Structure 1
Amino acid sequence: MFKEFKAFIMRGNVLDLAVGVIIGSAFTKLVTSLTDNLIGPILGMFTKSTNLAKLSFSVLGAKFTYGAFLSDIINFLIVAFIVFLIVRTVNRLMPKKPAAPAGPTKEEALLTEIRDLLAKQNQD
């Protein structure tokens, strides 16, 4: 059982996934810190609150904390933009697939016609 587990863990896809999850977790903390410590105070200059998570309003005794939601939206947009940049860069670096031929060239069409004519002559 240990050998099977070792073989499973040592496969490339599992290791790549583990590295991706760890880096993604660290990146999420970095983006959250960016939002809380830089973007939040900048927006706080306009909202009179330095902490976005504390922004809220009440209706009939129910408290709606829209600031935390706003902070999560900002985090999502930053992460989505970074992922977009990474995918775009990787797509540009990957080799392009050769385009499928549009059709037979003039020479191929002529040779095909000659072949068909010769086959027809041999049948007669």
Structure 2
Amino acid sequence: MLNEFKTFIARGNVLDLAVGVVIGAAFTAIVTSLVDDLINPLIGLIVGGIDFSGWGFAIGDAKFAIGSFINAIIKFLIVAWVVFLIVKAVNRLMPKKEEAPAAPAGPSDNDLLKEILATLKAK
């Protein structure tokens, strides 16, 4: 079982995934700062000084932070946009694979059966 685990973890795609997770964590800190320190104050200026982070309400002991949810949506949209741009750029840089020419179609099953029947009748 240990050897199987070593084989699994040594695969290239697992290592790529690990690198992606580490870079994603660092990218999350950048996006959080971008949203909290730049975008939200800019939106606040546009809509009259409203700060999303303070938006919320409470029912009994439960507190609902709507502003935090709005911040999370903004962060998600930024990350999704950047990932889209990265994938688009990588796809443009990758060489296009040429499709192999289609193999000529062989005889259909009916044709083969007719040929077998004709051969059997001839004997």
Question: TM-score band, normalised by the shorter chain?
Answer: 0.5 to 0.7
> 2:49 — aligned with what?
48
The CA deviation at 1:41 is 1.8
Residue 94 in structure 1 maps to residue 94 in structure 2: yes
CA distance in 2, matches of 1:31, 1:22: 14
CA distance in 2, matches of 1:83, 1:18: 17
CA-based RMSD: 3.2
Alpha-carbon spacing, 1:2–1:58, altered in 2? closer, same or farther (3 Å): closer
Instruction: Give me the TM-score of the superposition, normalised by structure 1.
Output: 0.65
CA distance in 2, matches of 1:67, 1:41: 13
Instruction: Give me the TM-score of the superposition, normalised by structure 2.
Output: 0.65
- The C-alpha deviation readout for 1:74-93, integer Å capped at 9, x for no partner, is 10111011011011111111
Runs (5+) with no aligned partner, structure 1: 105-124
Alpha-carbon spacing, 1:58–1:10, altered in 2? closer, same or farther (3 Å): closer
Question: Aligned ranges for residues 42-81 of structure 1 at < 5 Å?
Answer: 42-45=42-45, 46-50=47-51, 52-56=52-56, 64-81=64-81
CA distance in 2, matches of 1:94, 1:101: 21
For the residue of structure 2 that corresponds to 1:76, the secondary structure is helix
The alignment of Structure 1 onto Structure 2 pairs a total of residues equal to 103
CA distance in 2, matches of 1:68, 1:89: 32
Runs (5+) with no aligned partner, structure 2: 105-123
For the residue of structure 1 that corresponds to 2:31, the secondary structure is helix
